[in-house]
Structure 1
Amino acid sequence: MRIDIENLHIAYSGRTVVAGAHLIAAEDEITGLVGPNGSGKSTLLRTVYRHLRPVAGRVLLDGTDLSGLRPARSARHIAALPQERGGDFELTVREVVTVGRTPYKRAFAGEDAADRDIVARALADVGMTDHVERRFTELSGGERQRVLLARAFAQRTDVLVLDEPTNHLTRSDTEVVLRAYAEWGEAVADHLDGMFAFAVWGERASRLLLVRDRLGVKPLFWAHVDGGLAFASEPKALFAHPEIRPRVDADGLREAYSLLFNTGPTIWSGVREVEPGGLLVLNRDGIGERHYWQLEAGPHTDDQEKTVARVHTLVGTAARSQLEADVPLCSLLSGGIDSTVLTALLADELRTRENPDARIRSYAVDYSDQAEQFTGDVLRTGHDTPYATEAGAFIGTDHSTVVLNPRVLLDPEHRKAVVVARDSPIGVGDMDTSLYLLLGQIRKHSTVALSGEAADEVFGGYPWFRNPKAFAAPTFSWLLVTGDEAAMPLHSELDLSIGEFRDDTYRDALAAVPHLDGETPAEHRQREMQHLSLTRWLRQLLHRKDRLSMAQGLEVRVPYCDHRLVQYAFATPWALRSFDGREKSLLRAAGTGLAPHSVLHRPKNHYPATHHPDYNRGLQDLARDALADETVRSLADETLVKPCLDTASDQLQWGHRLRLERVVDLALWLDHHQPDLAL
């Protein structure tokens, strides 16, 4: 089968999306797709998916189904066309050419009168009428971008209709949000993808809208003030308002130290979060909150082969959608399956867009003691660095490993910077400090980094998904597996009733889990565990990554948080998600060929930690100094901390060491914020 078509018109629901394209297919493989102005596949698909958002199911060529065509390696992303969603994507041929292929470039305004009129009106709206008669190739880069945007806006009238034309067309996300809000109002979030947190003030309606992305990647906090509310991306910004004080009561301590990761209430009295997938409206009638998106339990009809293929498509689409950047971009490559598959997809797309020799930067972190002699623990069974190095070589990245001296992690200024960035005394000690320092090193070369965060929650990678004790326990599974339960230093005299609070919160959390009729007990329980992991455990990881990266001026993107991927995986039965008897079965199968065999089949490994006795010894000294403060002693129980101080530094267990980390961070948090304690 060979297809070579010029003057190809692509339409969705009867509306022209692309006119005058050039499609080439040989045998059963799509090998080329060129736009009317010489643009390549990526530009056309951005027009189709980013501007018009069709829901493609089949690809029809004059009524003939082309969905069986597979993409060439150099045009892999064309596979998204037939596989995206339900509905037909129509290709109408104006002229068929059976021999040869010539570059199809023409004057941008086009030969079709209707198309010419559309572009002319769009350009008139932005004051560029003199460009209508010029060839697209004659325009400058900035002019080309404005013309493309003008045409895209003009042609997507089924998606976005503006009451008034504007002279301000840019590539800014802010303009997209404003234009979308002008059309859809409160429903704007339903039409947005990716990570975001924003506010829009409607002057005429006297209405404030706060919106947060579906998974809660970006933070958004708010608090009541006289006559309205204040909002910010961090609590510390709210404290600049004269009516908002950093105040902590028993409820706040309970929220922080119970490790249940609620969203809504925070450790700060009177400060709340807009919930993931939620929005808040302030108008003359008061304040209202609601969810615009939540996980749903739906039927899954794909077999194993189709499910793996669908996961591959969804992960690839999510990865490629995050590659848009006008600044240097890199990947966090730990040597695990999550980051390796992601980096491979990013590297392949970068080579497709730029040139075959293009290389993406990748980064990993290590500690000098672990590099010399690895020491494992309950969460870490192997040394990441050799796997990260192998993965980087396999993919062809420009890979670097940032090796940290454990003593640097004890620097009070570094630790204080981390606590200030978090606005919370709850963290994971050296792992937070090392991440902060790693991100700082990356920022010297890149402005955007992509991370494999959320793959464990999406694909079932954590130990508790297969731990019989966690499976059967009537509580949050991570409390039994991570060792955090042993790390709580709070004084018993505070009487926070954390146990009762956990029980009540657990019942409420289970009540929010959607289920299907006829689920087996095992499937019912696995759905609960995944829902709790996605809606609670993941939130503190996203919070950690966002706050520490932004403190270094680095934007971290998380493609595995794409809501279409998350929803598809959540609706997939556990038997399919664990078909090979291991963690992350679907991702491993979908990633075949993208990662070395050793990486695809290595066990789950958590973020690395140092085990150097000098670090433990230095941490014990910092904890002793922290306990010299009377306020710290009023909150932390010395009888729980003292045994950790007396333990030989090379014998300090993970949970007890984390207890010392929490005491040190508590002292730094109190010193920085000077909160009013109402206990």
Structure 2
Amino acid sequence: MCGIAGIFANTPEREIDSQILVNMAAIMHHRGPDNYGYCNPKEVGVGFSHARLSIIDLNESRGRQPFFLHGGRVIFAHNGEFYDYQRLRGELTAEGEYFETKSDSEIVPHLYLREGMDETLKHLRGEFAFSLYDEQQDALYLVRDRFGIKPLYWTQTNNHIVFGSEVKTVLAHPEVNAEFDSHGLFHQLIQVMVPGTTAFKGVHQVEPGYMLKITRKDGKFNIEKTKYWDMDFPTPEQRPRMDDDYYIKGVRDQLLEAVQLRLTADVPVGCYLSGGIDSCSILGLASAAAQDPIRAFTISFDNDEYDEASIATEMARATGAEQDILKLNAELLYDNFSRTIWHTERTIYNTLAVAKLMMSQHVTHNDYKVVLTGEGSDELFAGYPAFRKDMFLHGMEGLNAEQAAEWQQTLAESNKLFQGAMLPKDEYVSEKINAKVGFTPSCLQPWLGCSELARNLLTPEIREELADYEPGEAIADRLDEDFLTDRHPLDKAQYVWIKTMLEGQILTWGGDRVDMANSMEARPPFLDHHLAEFAATIPPEMRIKGSKEKYVLREAMKGLLPTVLYERQKFAFMAPPAHTDDKKWQKLKGLFERYASKEKLEKAGFIDADYVQTLMRKQESRDTDPADKVQIDAVLNHVLGVMLLHHHFIEQDLPQLAHDKAQELGWVV
């Protein structure tokens, strides 16, 4: 697990500065503190750099990237993990291939030279983002894994394509200007992003399941964007009709294999453990597969309504795991808010991101580099309350009045804390999303419903620029109609979540960015694409059976889970919002005074300072509805996040900061 960076010039004759390449690696030193490398051959106009976190093949001289193979024909740099790579290496070795390292990364250039990129991608299993330059084709490939577990950003300047594992890596290049994009800024305030975009003008993401092939001719770039994988739910006619046991056994077998593959490492592997069945299932399977007790890391909050530690402890005891509980309070969460935004590079609606960053720090301090996590289960098996709502509203024809009342009651009771965040406070309809999906999925409604708040928060100049902008339309334009047509409403709701909230939130500020902030690799077995492809075939009425979400997963894990977990409904994992406790509220106000005071807001010119004060007063009023307070809390966190993005990435000189970091580390060439 590492960080990659690179520069591709518009002509082969343009020299790539070695120190700039190293500076780009240095500014993401947290992703790879164990070693670094760079490669920029003469008269080629391309350079890669790499910051390494040693997990597979700990030999520093042998595992160093970028790889420069086959007489220089291929240059390759990789961030992530490839599983089942030993089998592939064995097959290639039997066919006469010679490997210079024991690294999983080296399989890609060997496969590419034998089979080409399209065929190579079919073999790859895991979480990854990589760059590969082929001198014969004079082509640069940028590739991201199927779900977007690993990040990859890029931009185009007058003379170069610049790419890297983090936005700050791209902004560290002297030709790249750090400037907010008005549309990206708007989406920072409403939480949900348009796939492939960032807050910064001209800085893009390689989308999950996509490959960019970039070639050059006569000083100009040609950029081909190709989708190589997507979450493909079958139509009703295509879906196999099997009994319950077929799906239950299939999930159990596929998940066990995914866990076993992700236990492969040359360092100890632990597990994250909350009170949900997802992380508990992973811990149960990992404990069964491992020879020694698993170390289980649990977050505990100082508010009983949001704390799941006691339930997690039941699972730890049942598996014989060594549980390590990190108790977090207001001081820790808000004292680390600014540092978290430096790493997330986007705003956050809840301090859960800060809690995750504090946990990864705790894991690293306990000499662990790798943990297995439960992310992806809710996406595959319809675990979120929003999915139950959409299933009830759009996918349950013939539901009688008594059943309907039961569904509504259980949904409201089990998720009342999250009304305004995980569930919409009021219905919001986007005509463009309706036209493509058939309805506006409930997962998007809380955030799209903040649109009017967001417009009021923007200064009049930006508000005028965005007068005709409809965020739902921008999101709808990025959804592939081929994977929505003729699908069940639950399939559609899950697909939309996977394309928006999974990549843009859970795997970003809830995953890679806050994990790698402390040089820690998180591996989510549920997002193994073999398991995902099987899960897509499960009939909707078996994903949500009656009022029970994730039915098939529950049955598959029934023997592993304590009764309290097997019977428990989904409880969204969030940190307590600031308005729930005066100490937290005062901490948040202190951060506003430091980074988002009236003077600072007016000087920056993005956010209307008077409207921020209006929201502050409303949040302090006893007359404000609880669901409104949840929504306002999220919006205020976004406002603070915008100002911290401005502070970290626009006010600071990122190229100079990267150079200073390289000097500090001794990474000087």
Q: 2:343 aligns with which of 402, 421, 426?
A: 421
- The residue aligned with 1:553 is 519
Output the CA distance in 1 between the equivalents of 2:101 and 2:473. Answer: 49
- The residue aligned with 1:491 is 458
Which digits, 9 at most, give the CA deviation of each residue in 1:471-510, with x for residues without a partner?
4654342243579838747326222548842231354356
The verdict on how the C-alpha distance between 1:468 and 1:193 changes in structure 2, with shifts beyond 3 A counting, is closer
Output the CA distance in 2 between the equivalents of 1:153 and 1:449. Answer: 25
- The residue aligned with 2:333 is 409
Provide the secondary structure at the position in 2 that maps to 1:196.
strand
Provide the secondary structure at the position in 1 that maps to 2:371.
strand
CA contact (8 A) 1:475 1:506 kept: no
Provide the secondary structure at the position in 2 that maps to 1:674.
helix
Q: Structure 2 unaligned runs (5+)? A: 1-83, 395-428, 430-438, 653-669
Output the CA distance in 2 between the equivalents of 1:469 and 1:316. Answer: 28
Output the CA distance in 2 between the equivalents of 1:635 and 1:384. Answer: 38
Output the CA distance in 1 between the equivalents of 2:448 and 2:372. Answer: 28
Which digits, 9 at most, give the CA deviation of each residue in 1:352-399, with x for residues without a partner?
xxxxxx1000011112x32xxx23xxxx5xx31110000100111000
Which digits, 9 at most, give the CA deviation of each residue in 1:498-541, with x for residues without a partner?
88422313543565252575x6xxx2x22210110111110121
Which digits, 9 at most, give the CA deviation of each residue in 1:399-426, with x for residues without a partner?
0110012122222xx22211110122x1
The verdict on how the C-alpha distance between 1:256 and 1:410 changes in structure 2, with shifts beyond 3 A counting, is closer
Say whether residues 1:502 and 2:451 are aligned partners.
Answer: no
The more displaced of 656-665 and 454-463 is 656-665
- The residue aligned with 1:268 is 200
CA contact (8 A) 2:297 2:326 kept: yes
Aligned-residue offset at 1:579 = 2.7
CA contact (8 A) 1:447 1:555 kept: yes
- The residue aligned with 1:300 is 239
The verdict on how the C-alpha distance between 1:537 and 1:471 changes in structure 2, with shifts beyond 3 A counting, is farther
Say whether residues 1:231 and 2:163 are aligned partners.
Answer: yes
Output the CA distance in 1 between the equivalents of 2:470 and 2:448. Answer: 19
- Following superposition of structure 1 onto structure 2, how do residues 473-552 of structure 1 map, counting pairs within 5 Å? 473=429, 474-481=439-446, 485=450, 488=454, 490-491=457-458, 493=460, 494-495=462-463, 497=466, 500-508=469-477, 512=481, 514-515=483-484, 523=488, 525-539=489-503, 540-544=505-509, 545-552=511-518
Q: 2:249 aligns with which of 292, 309, 323?
A: 309
Which digits, 9 at most, give the CA deviation of each residue in 1:96-134, with x for residues without a partner?
xxxxxxxxxxxxxxxxxxxxxxxxxxxxxxxxxxxxxxx
Output the CA distance in 1 between the equivalents of 2:138 and 2:342. Answer: 35
- The residue aligned with 2:23 is none
Output the CA distance in 1 between the equivalents of 2:330 and 2:345. Answer: 24
- Following superposition of structure 1 onto structure 2, how do residues 283-362 of structure 1 map, counting pairs within 5 Å? 283-284=215-216, 286-298=222-234, 299-301=238-240, 302-351=242-291, 358-362=292-296
Aligned-residue offset at 1:232 = 0.4
Q: 1:254 aligns with which of 159, 172, 186?
A: 186
The verdict on how the C-alpha distance between 1:631 and 1:179 changes in structure 2, with shifts beyond 3 A counting, is farther
CA contact (8 A) 1:641 1:659 kept: no
- The residue aligned with 1:364 is 298
- The residue aligned with 1:4 is none
Say whether residues 1:206 and 2:128 are aligned partners.
Answer: no
The more displaced of 317-326 and 168-177 is 168-177
Give the letter for the 1:430 counterpart.
T
CA contact (8 A) 1:471 1:477 kept: no
- The residue aligned with 1:592 is 558
Aligned-residue offset at 1:455 = 0.8
Give the letter for the 2:516 counterpart.
M
- The residue aligned with 1:243 is 175
CA contact (8 A) 2:293 2:320 kept: yes
CA contact (8 A) 2:259 2:285 kept: yes
- The residue aligned with 2:597 is 627
Output the CA distance in 2 between the equivalents of 1:632 and 1:320. Answer: 53
Aligned-residue offset at 1:199 = 0.6
Q: Structure 1 unaligned runs (5+)? A: 1-147, 352-357
Taking only the aligned residue pairs, the percentage that are identical comes to 27
Say whether residues 1:617 and 2:557 are aligned partners.
Answer: no
Query: RCO (CA 8 Å, sep 6+): is it higher in 1 or 2?
Result: 2
Provide the secondary structure at the position in 1 that maps to 2:553.
helix
Output the CA distance in 1 between the equivalents of 2:349 and 2:571. Answer: 16
Output the CA distance in 1 between the equivalents of 2:250 and 2:500. Answer: 26
CA contact (8 A) 2:270 2:294 kept: yes
Aligned-residue offset at 1:305 = 1.4
The verdict on how the C-alpha distance between 1:398 and 1:161 changes in structure 2, with shifts beyond 3 A counting, is same
Aligned-residue offset at 1:263 = 2.4
Provide the secondary structure at the position in 1 that maps to 2:605.
helix
- Following superposition of structure 1 onto structure 2, how do residues 553-592 of structure 1 map, counting pairs within 5 Å? 553-592=519-558
Which digits, 9 at most, give the CA deviation of each residue in 1:530-561, with x for residues without a partner?
11011111012101110111111101111111
The verdict on how the C-alpha distance between 1:513 and 1:440 changes in structure 2, with shifts beyond 3 A counting, is farther
Output the CA distance in 1 between the equivalents of 2:568 and 2:554. Answer: 10
CA contact (8 A) 1:470 1:477 kept: no
Output the CA distance in 2 between the equivalents of 1:606 and 1:384. Answer: 10
Provide the secondary structure at the position in 2 that maps to 1:571.
coil
Aligned-residue offset at 1:337 = 0.3
- The residue aligned with 1:458 is 380
Output the CA distance in 1 between the equivalents of 2:146 and 2:572. Answer: 25
Q: 2:571 aligns with which of 605, 615, 620?
A: 605
Output the CA distance in 1 between the equivalents of 2:526 and 2:333. Answer: 29
Output the CA distance in 1 between the equivalents of 2:390 and 2:109. Answer: 50
Q: 1:180 aligns with which of 108, 111, 129?
A: 111
Which digits, 9 at most, give the CA deviation of each residue in 1:429-458, with x for residues without a partner?
422211111110011121001110111111
The verdict on how the C-alpha distance between 1:642 and 1:238 changes in structure 2, with shifts beyond 3 A counting, is same
- The residue aligned with 1:661 is 637
Output the CA distance in 1 between the equivalents of 2:208 and 2:647. Answer: 31
CA contact (8 A) 1:549 1:555 kept: yes
CA contact (8 A) 1:333 1:364 kept: yes
The verdict on how the C-alpha distance between 1:229 and 1:156 changes in structure 2, with shifts beyond 3 A counting, is closer
Give the letter for the 1:461 counterpart.
G
Output the CA distance in 2 between the equivalents of 1:607 and 1:236. Answer: 29
Give the letter for the 1:300 counterpart.
R
Provide the secondary structure at the position in 1 that maps to 2:290.
helix
Give the letter for the 1:290 counterpart.
T
CA contact (8 A) 2:448 2:472 kept: no
The verdict on how the C-alpha distance between 1:194 and 1:591 changes in structure 2, with shifts beyond 3 A counting, is same
Output the CA distance in 1 between the equivalents of 2:389 and 2:543. Answer: 16
Q: 2:124 aligns with which of 184, 189, 192?
A: 192
Give the letter for the 1:432 counterpart.
A
Aligned-residue offset at 1:667 = 2.1
The more displaced of 591-600 and 656-665 is 656-665
Output the CA distance in 2 between the equivalents of 1:242 and 1:510. Answer: 34
Say whether residues 1:437 and 2:381 are aligned partners.
Answer: no
Output the CA distance in 2 between the equivalents of 1:462 and 1:150. Answer: 36
Output the CA distance in 1 between the equivalents of 2:181 and 2:87. Answer: 55
CA contact (8 A) 1:620 1:660 kept: no
Aligned-residue offset at 1:654 = 2.0
Give the letter for the 1:401 counterpart.
I
The verdict on how the C-alpha distance between 1:185 and 1:649 changes in structure 2, with shifts beyond 3 A counting, is farther
Give the letter for the 2:613 counterpart.
K
Which digits, 9 at most, give the CA deviation of each residue in 1:132-164, with x for residues without a partner?
xxxxxxxxxxxxxxxx9999756558xx845xx
- Following superposition of structure 1 onto structure 2, how do residues 48-127 of structure 1 map, counting pairs within 5 Å? none
- The residue aligned with 2:61 is none
CA contact (8 A) 2:278 2:377 kept: yes
- The residue aligned with 1:221 is 153
Output the CA distance in 2 between the equivalents of 1:345 and 1:150. Answer: 22
